[in-house]
Structure 1
Amino acid sequence: MDNSGECCSTQLIDGDGVFNVDGLENFIKEVKLRECGLSYAVVSIMGPQSSGKSTLLNHLFRTNFREMDAFKGRSQTTKGIWLAKGADIEPCTLVMDLEGTGGRERGEDNTAFEKQSALFALAVSDIVLINMWCHDIGRERAANKPLLKTVFQVMMRLFSPRKTTLLFVIRDKTRTPLENLEPVVREDVQKIWDNVPKPQAHKETPLSEFFNVEVTALSSYEEKEEQFKEQVAILRQWFFHSIAPGGLVGDRTGVVPASGFSFSAQQMWKDIKENKDLHLPAHEVMVATVRCEEIAHQKYSSFTENEDWGSIEEALHLGPVFGKKVSSSIEACLSGYDSEAVYFDESVRSSKQKQLEEKLLQLVKPAFQSVLEHIGCETLDKFKEAFDKALNGGKQFSMAAHDCTQSYVALFDKGCADAVIEKAKWDTSRAREKLRHDIDAHVASVCAAKLSELTKAYKAKLNVALSGQVETHLEEADNETWSDIRELISHETRLAVTGFSGALSGFELDEQRKENMLSAIKDHARGIVEAKARERAGRVLALMKARFTTLFRPDAGSMWTGREDIEEINKRARSASLKLLSVMAAVRLDDERDNIEKTLSVALLDTRSTATDGSITTVDPLASNTWEGIPSSKTLITPARCKLLWKQFVGKTRRIVTLAKSAQEANRRERRERRLRDGMLLALTGASGLADLGGAVLR
């Protein structure tokens, strides 16, 4: 036991694998661990020998683990597993320093203690720091891959997995950015997890259910000490409140209460020591693994840096060239790998070659997809051009769409076949489906535009055919007005529907859609009539006055002679104007039977009293906003509105009648005066003759 300041440490397990029970109990008492309940965390570190694990822990947690003296050469410093309490960190944090892996002191094949200590660390720790050299990322041994494979597998069999955070610490970071290193580390861990045999209960369990993976990087302690210390100071903050929500292990599970930590740790080590199935790959397999990975990495780098690959990327628009060149380059890369790796373990060599092939294919896959996309765009452009040309040449729409689609989808298929990479089994059906979707969308768009043009053309024809004639019928306003309009609309609609139906036959529309379009034409014809009727109804007062003015005139000539029956003429003119009002009052396109004209005549023209006794109240038939038997949608002028319009009409025409009567009376007076003058003249002429006759007689 070593007590200096707040740090307290002890050797938990010695180099021979003996568990220090008494030392742990004294340690627990010294740091008052049992008082912590669940508020404590356990951190351990594993990694290659002489990789600076103890140095990192001492700077990170202010512990006093023994560090290697660089001037005395690289050798084993930490033996077994040491335990210490981190200083000035909340919550209480226990730190375990594990013996380094790959040490020559134990020999290359005596790796049992490495496996056992690593499994123990994973089993008891909330956070496991995995110390690794930056330049060794991707190497099996240096990156602890085989070790992790074994401990993952055995841990799931021996213990109920708990949520642990794996913090990969990349040491002696180079210029390569962390964001480029981190994905490689995460991918390696994921592959290890995916390939580890699991119990049936955890066959589909994702890595994230048992492990959180974090990655950080530190500069070289020996070459950039100040920068290293600054980075460690930042990393130290990660461990404050590590078990709180959002902390490094805020979602940990299966926590052992502090009072049971000693017993739990002893039992776990006992189970690990007694297990006989823990084993690492043989030395030759490990060498083959490391060397084949180096060869594969070298070939992959050469492939990406090759000038041919750059030229291929620039020639994406040349599908056949792309497929042949990429296939040739990949084959050359794999052949080069085979030549250099031929003497290594066959299973390892084949496995790494397969991984290299997968990486190469993944590298070129985005470019392949770009080629497919380019072929698809070119094919679509050619289709559009050919389709428009066929339609402009008078080819039937459905036939042009069918023929062009078949032709250019076949052209796309040929382009895809030329661009395919030999070793890839990539499915091009999605790109083909996209092209078909784009073609169908273009055909649908053109179809909609063509149908819209046709519809507008036939609607325009109906406008020309109906508008003028409907206006004429409405202004003439006789008993046959709506009957004539119905006959007119039936005739013109039948002609339009027949022509439109023939024009639609070239589009292969389903019956329902075709019926809907024909119905729209019919509805448009009715809409024209209704619109004209509403327009004329809005000017009905002026039209009534014009009709009255036309009809209210002397029977002969242009002068009121005084012999005309003005009241009768007035009655006829008003009756004709009322006819116009009744015709305009509602739309009758469905041969509706109504009594609008009769109602208006009785209410507005019949001056006879409907009551013979003053005690009887007369009901006004026009005191309503609806006509009997006429829906409101077809009503153009309500009864109440008709009454108001009639009142205005009478007011406007009364002066015309008054003036006519005055003119008639003036003419009568003039005739009477003329007759009187003529009589007097005659009388005067007669008296003068008698006097002359008498004078002659006297003479």
Structure 2
Amino acid sequence: MSACQLIDANGNFVNSLPGAQGNTSSHYTTIAVVGCQSGGKSTLLNHAFQTQFPVLDAPRSGRRRTTLGVWSALHTGPHLQVILDVEGTDSRERGEGAKSFESRTTLFALALADVVIVNMWAHDVGRYSAANYDLFETVFAHSVALRRSSSMMKQRPVRVIIVVRDHDSESNVADIRRVLMGDLQNIWDSLKIRSFEMSSLFDMEVVALPHMVYAPDDFEREVKKLAENITKGNRRREAAMVPLEGFDALAQTVWSGICRSTGGDGEDAEFTLDLPRHAALAAHFKVGEIVMSIFDGVVGMKIEELRAEIEAEWRRPVRDYTVRVDAVVNEAFQSFDKATVSYKGAAAAEAVQTRRTELGVDLFSRISVLRDRYLAVCRDFCMNGFEDEFRPMLGGTNGFERNARRVANSFIAKYKAFAQGAGLPSVLKEYEDMQEAKEEEDIDFLAVERDYDPLDAEYGLIDSDDEDEYSCERFKRDVMRMVEERKQLGELMLPGNGVPLNLGPKREPWWKGLLIRAAILFINYLQATQGQRAALNLHRKHEREFPPGPTF
């Protein structure tokens, strides 16, 4: 399994876990190894989990650091395992900064790992400095601080496997375990941690491995048993804090939190790492990427295609608008739910719900703009059809009002059918109030920015008309106003409302009636062209407000 450096020697988060991108599994085990420098940690992991961590070549380069920072690999067997190879402790290359970096990497391993392997040599057992027992002081102190600050997580004891290297057959494993556990209990007691027992935080095991060079077959056999023991003992039944694809985001937020914190020792350790918060941040980030991918993918493309089709056919409404919008909205939510099904747990679930709400509000906004453009086309289509049939009618003549209202009601009903068909999908109704609240916040912000005066509305300096421009009532009012205006003009030009006039004994010139009718026809023509000009101006207004984008 290929490996890569996750955190470099300077403490910078530089890479991603190889093979994790796009893997939504929440059932994986994280295994970390810690121990002294040049102790064979990377070699142990390579033999146990078939990883490819860089190893020490002592004859050529001497005993020096090989693993710098933290390296990672993904073991993809029957059970997913994230392997973390942590830089060795007691490094002479680190100098005075060694202790601080060791504390950070140790806390990082404890925060993320389900299993911590502590690597040490058999001949160092019982010797405080040589056995690197100060590493256990760091592990104990930070584990207590981690449990206190992350009460929602890591309630089970951390599984710690102490691997004793180069064990010979003359030494009894039970004696080694007795000595180690006694020393560890003494270290725990010396820290005076009164709020926890060591057994409540750690599940300790001791495993002895033969010499890799002098007993290679025995070494391989025992390492294989160790790997099987780790796998069988840590088959994750509950979901991890975040799915595997979110491991990088979680690891980065945890490392950033560790680097920002300060440290102490013992019960007063100040590493207040809030794992639930970091898990929530990681989940929030990854689920946000899912929302962006939805709009950057098929859903966004379909919305743009529908918008381009509406604008291309400005004089005729597109077919199956409602069906296509419903399909797009349903596809967006289904894609989101499918992509986030692996984000479980209290922290991740809250992030999923928040991002799902954001998805709904964004969809509501986009579909609302699409609906306005569609209704603008429907309004122009119905208004132009009405004007075509209304243009030949003469106001003030017999049957004018009856015929004009019949035509007007016909197109009012047609536009009402378009408007009802263009209603927002029911799944978006719950996000309407959220979008309105967001718009009110934007308006308040803009009002503060431009030093808004409430008297502006009174003097007509801002538009205070809250009526929907594309409502059925607005369309009906505009159509009936045209009918009423022509009726009044006809009654003015033709007194008697179509009833034959009693001219008396004196007859009017024959050309006078023709002149009046010609004048009425001319005025009707002006009114009709005025409606067309109004529709053209509305069209230009929409093009200015919603400039058409490129169509591919």
TM-score by length of 2: 0.44
Q: Which of the pair has the greater relative contact order for Cα pairs under 8 Å at 6+ separation?
A: 2
Structure (1/2) with the larger helix percentage: 1
TM-score by length of 1: 0.35
